[in-house]
Amino acid sequence: MQVVPIATLRLHPEADRVPQMNVEQAAEFQADIAERGIRVPIEIVGTQIVDGRSRFLAAKKLGIEQVPVIDAPLHGDDPVLYMLRAATRRRHLTDDQRACLAEEEREYLAERSRRERARAGGLAGGRGRTKASVDSSAVTLAGELSRDRSGDARAIASKTFGVSERSIRYAQKLKSEAPRLYEQVKAGNERLSIAKRQMERDVKRRQQREQSQQVETTTGYPLWQISCGDCLTELAKIAPSTVRLIFADSPYNIGIDYGAGAKADRLTDEQYLAWCRRWMGECARLLTVDGSLWVMINDEYADHFGLLLRETGLIRRSWIKWYETFGVNCTNNFNRCSRHIFYCVKDAKKFVFNADAVSRPSDRLTKYHDRRADPGGKLWDNVWCIPRLVENSAERLPDFPTQLPLELLRAVIGCASHPGDTVLDPFSGSGTTGIAAIEGARRFIGIERNHQFAELSRERLASHRPEALR
């Protein structure tokens, strides 16, 4: 060990591959050096520091002019690999930071391999260099890399840095697609799993914006249409596997007058359920392989609907309760203040699901300010608290016996479809599904049996077209 002027030392050009201490750790470390001095010598190669950057930076801040150094015991290793692996001894590093170190090693080895192959190729084309000598260089390079990679850089890095190969893959993808988030993880300011989810959400948001812009600039294609007629007849006209999302709020068979008198909504159970079975089957036929059917119903027939939807071959992902926050007062039973929403998909492994549309800030983030909280929020529960529309609601329209809040349909459409997708409502009524669809740059097909309702909803959609789509 020797003591040298600090001014003669410099950081290695690849030093940024190693994460630095955060502000609190650096302050504590500097205070310790101010009190007890540098007890562990800085390791150098020539005048470059390969282990001891934090000691070097703390000494500079404290104005220490002489620091202890030793030659790094490389034993033939590459200085950068030595620097990365030496960092694993640091107790302040998290497993996520170690995964980033492993990714730095994997990337460095890949870069070095490319450079050596390029150099070997260039020398092979030069004069005075025999094929045998070039082959010898290639063999030497292969031998060097085999010590570090053994044919699999990620597996070796996993063992060296004590992290899973999956974590290294996450770090690799993060560095490639979201370098800002990667640096946050490497600095210890963010968790790898949360950063990965944030990256995936950012990618999805970007794709949604691009798709939305593409829809907005498309001409000659109707953004929406409302057909007036029986739903079974109109559904039969639509080609199979062409609709990404269907939202159905069918008549409840409880005596509501939808224009044909209250008696029309008072079928026998057998008649009503047979009719429901038919339109559900038609809806299932129209869905794309990654599409979904959302069906809303009241208490009286919720259990029947659950079974009918299973008969279609669709797979239920969730049974949601829409809590309307207040409902119908009862005198001899519990008050009615909720409805059922069945969320079903065609393929259990392949379906559209945009988490941003149905996420909210968590208490961990807003109340407790826990840095472990996902900044993207947490998914909604399977009870949705969205107020229903009352007579004096600003959103409420005259002439419609029932009308759903836009907040409810915005969540469904945003969650289960992409801009440009086709959304279908076989019982479109006031056209709320259509409004939410065109707001999100989706194409909408509505079916409404009542001529008056169909015309009024057409007027509503025509007048409500968002600025972005004009």
Identify the domain boundary among 180, 212, 244: 212
- The per-residue pLDDT for 130 is 47
Q: Is residue 267 part of a domain?
A: yes
259 and 352 together in one domain: yes
- Owner of token pair 């949705």: 384
Q: How far is CA 117 from the centre of its chain?
A: 38
Please state, in angstroms and rounded to a whole number, the distance separating the CA atoms of residues 185 and 103: 12
Identify the domain boundary among 42, 72, 89: 89
347 and 227 together in one domain: yes
Which residues neighbour 469 within 8 Å (Cβ) at sequence distance 6 or greater? 215, 216, 223, 438, 441
Q: Provide the CATH number for the domain around residue 227.
A: 3.40.50.150
Identify the domain boundary among 212, 233, 250: 212
Q: Is residue 196 part of a domain?
A: yes
pLDDT in tens, 395-448: 888 878 789 999 999 999 999 999 999 999 999 999 999 999 999 999 999 999
109 and 85 together in one domain: no
137 and 232 together in one domain: no
Q: Which amino acid is at 100?
A: C
Mean pLDDT of 335-346: 95
Please state, in angstroms and rounded to a whole number, the distance separating the CA atoms of residues 359 and 370: 18
256 and 369 together in one domain: yes
Range of the domain at 120: 95-212
106 and 73 together in one domain: no
351 and 239 together in one domain: yes
- The per-residue pLDDT for 7 is 93
The two most distant CA atoms of the chain are separated, in Å, by 102
Please state, in angstroms and rounded to a whole number, the distance separating the CA atoms of residues 87 and 222: 60
Q: Is residue 217 part of a domain?
A: no
227 and 336 together in one domain: yes
346 and 464 together in one domain: yes
Let me know the angle formed at the C-alpha of 465 by 462 and 469, rounded to the nearest 5 degrees.
130
Q: Provide the CATH number for the domain around residue 80.
A: 3.90.1530.10
How many domains does one find in the chain?
3
108 and 85 together in one domain: no
Scanning 218-311, the segments in alpha helix (DSSP H) are 231-236, 269-286, 302-311
118 and 78 together in one domain: no
Q: Is residue 114 part of a domain?
A: yes
Q: Is residue 291 part of a domain?
A: yes
Q: Which amino acid is at 189?
A: N
- The per-residue pLDDT for 156 is 80
Indicate if the pLDDT at residue 53 is higher than 50: yes
- The per-residue pLDDT for 465 is 59
pLDDT in tens, 97-148: 999 999 998 888 888 888 888 887 776 665 554 444 434 433 444 444 444 4
Q: Is residue 389 part of a domain?
A: yes
274 and 375 together in one domain: yes
